[in-house]
């Protein structure tokens, strides 16, 4: 079972790394999942992830205070606005745009109501 947890952790770190490049793929949720999986599989990998100078601080902020850093909030907001802008530019159906607007608005409310890291 530890092998499965470790494999899922590695997969999540890989998806988080891709998320750094692709604006549509979230980074921190995958890092949080990786920390969860590594905590159940490998103390060494879990410690590596938490002590990593780039990947560790957002995880620590979330675990200790439920906080999201201001830069991450701004990047998420810009990404969400870009995605919605692309949807508008593609002239998607009104129903799709309404659903997307509601969901993305809820995401933005969640992000901006968290404490800043």
pLDDT digits (tens, 9 = 90+) for 6-44: 999 999 999 998 988 876 777 888 999 999 999 999 999
Q: What is the pLDDT at residue 13?
A: 93
Q: What is the pLDDT at residue 27?
A: 84
Regarding pTM above 0.85, the answer is no
Cβ count within 10 A of residue 49: 22
Q: What is the pLDDT at residue 102?
A: 96
Q: Which two tokens stand for residue 68?
A: 């999201």
Kindly give, in sequence order, each residue whose CB lies less than 8 Å from that of residue 68, ignoring residues fewer than 6 positions away: 28, 58, 61, 62, 76, 111, 114, 115, 116, 117
Q: Are 77 and 68 in contact (CB under 8 A)?
A: no
Bridge partners of 116, per DSSP, are 68
Q: What is the pLDDT at residue 115?
A: 93
């Amino acid at each position: 079972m530890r092998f499965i947890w470790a494999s899922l952790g590695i997969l999540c770190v890989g998806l988080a790394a891709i998320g750094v490049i692709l604006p549509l793929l979230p980074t921190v949720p995958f890092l949080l999942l990786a920390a969860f999986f590594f905590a159940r599989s490998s103390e060494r990998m879990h410690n590596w992830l938490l002590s990593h100078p780039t990947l560790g601080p957002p995880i620590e902020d979330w675990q200790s205070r439920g906080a999201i850093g201001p830069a991450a909030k701004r990047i998420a907001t810009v990404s969400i606005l870009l995605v919605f802008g692309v949807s508008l530019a593609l002239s998607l159906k009104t129903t799709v745009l309404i659903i997307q607007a509601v969901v993305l608005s809820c995401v933005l409310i969640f992000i901006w109501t968290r404490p800043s890291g």
